[in-house]
Amino acid sequence: MMDEDDPIVRFDNVGMRYGTGPEVLRDINMALEPGSFYFLTGESGAGKTSLLRLMYLANRPSRGLVHVFGRDVSTLGRDEVPVLRRHMGVIFQDFRLLDHLSTLDNVALPLRVAGAKGPKVRQHVAELLRWVGLGDHINAKPTTLSGGEQQRIAIARAVINQPNLLLADEPTGNVDDNIGMRLLFLFEELNRMGTTVVVATHNERLVSRFPYPRLVLEDGQVTKQKG
Partner 1 sequence: MIRSQTDIPLERDAASRMLPWIIAIMVYLAALAIAGTLTLSQVIRSWSVAGTGTLTVQVPFGDSAAKTEALAERAASVLRETPGISRVRVLSRQDVAGLVKPWLGPAEQTAGLPLPALIDASVVGGASIDLAALSRRLAGIAPGATVEDHKKWLDKLVGFARSIWLVTLLVVAMILLAAVVTVIFTTRTGLRIHYRVIEVLHLIGAHDRYISRQFERQAVMLSLKGALVGVLLAVLTVVALAHLAAQVDLIRAPRLVFSVWQWGLFVLVPIVAGLVALYTARLTVLRTLGRLT
Ligand X SMILES: Nc1ncnc2c1ncn2[C@@H]1O[C@H](COP(=O)(O)OP(=O)(O)OP(=O)(O)O)[C@@H](O)[C@H]1O
Binding residues for partner 1, per CB under 8 A? 56, 58, 78-79, 81-83, 85-86, 88, 90, 92, 96, 98, 100-102, 104-105, 108-110, 112-114, 117-119, 121-122, 157
The 23-32 sheet, strands edge to edge: 23-32, 9-17, 63-68, 71-72
Q: What is the DSSP letter of 185?
A: H
Contact 55, 7 (CB under 8 A): no
Please select the residue that binds Mg ion; options are 2, 30, 31, 49, rule is CB under 5 A: 49
Amino acid in the structure at residue 221:
Q
Contact 125, 160 (CB under 8 A): yes
Of these partners, Mg ion, partner 1, ligand X, none, which one is at the site of residue 176 (CB under 5 to 8 Å by kind)? none
Q: Whose CA is closest to 54, among 43, 39, 66, 63?
A: 66
Please select the residue that binds ligand X; options are 7, 38, 50, 110, rule is CB under 6 A: 50
State in angstroms the smallest separation of the CB of 88 from ligand X: 18
Does residue 61 bind ligand X (CB under 6 A)?
A: no
Q: Site mask, ligand X, residues 81-110, x = CB under 6 A?
A: ------------x-----------------
Please select the residue that binds ligand X; options are 29, 45, 80, 218, rule is CB under 6 A: 45
Q: What is the DSSP string of 44-87?
A: TTSSHHHHHHHHTTSS--SEEEEEETTEEGGG--TTHHHHHHTT
- Residue 22 or 77: the one with the smaller Cβ distance to partner 1 is 77
Amino acid in the structure at residue 172:
T
Of these partners, partner 1, ligand X, Mg ion, none, which one is at the site of residue 44 (CB under 5 to 8 Å by kind)? ligand X
Q: What are the angstrom distances between the C-alpha of 89 and each of 24, 64, 65, 82, 153?
A: 24, 24, 22, 12, 13
Q: SS3 of 107, please?
A: helix
Please select the residue that binds ligand X; options are 3, 20, 21, 75, rule is CB under 6 A: 21
Does residue 20 bind ligand X (CB under 6 A)?
A: no
Amino acid in the structure at residue 78:
R
Of these partners, ligand X, partner 1, Mg ion, none, which one is at the site of residue 82 (CB under 5 to 8 Å by kind)? partner 1
d(CA 204, CA 118): 42
- Residue 42 or 142: the one with the smaller Cβ distance to ligand X is 42
d(CA 129, CA 155): 10
The footprint of ligand X (CB under 6 A) covers 18, 21, 24, 42, 44-50, 93
The footprint of Mg ion (CB under 5 A) covers 48-49, 93
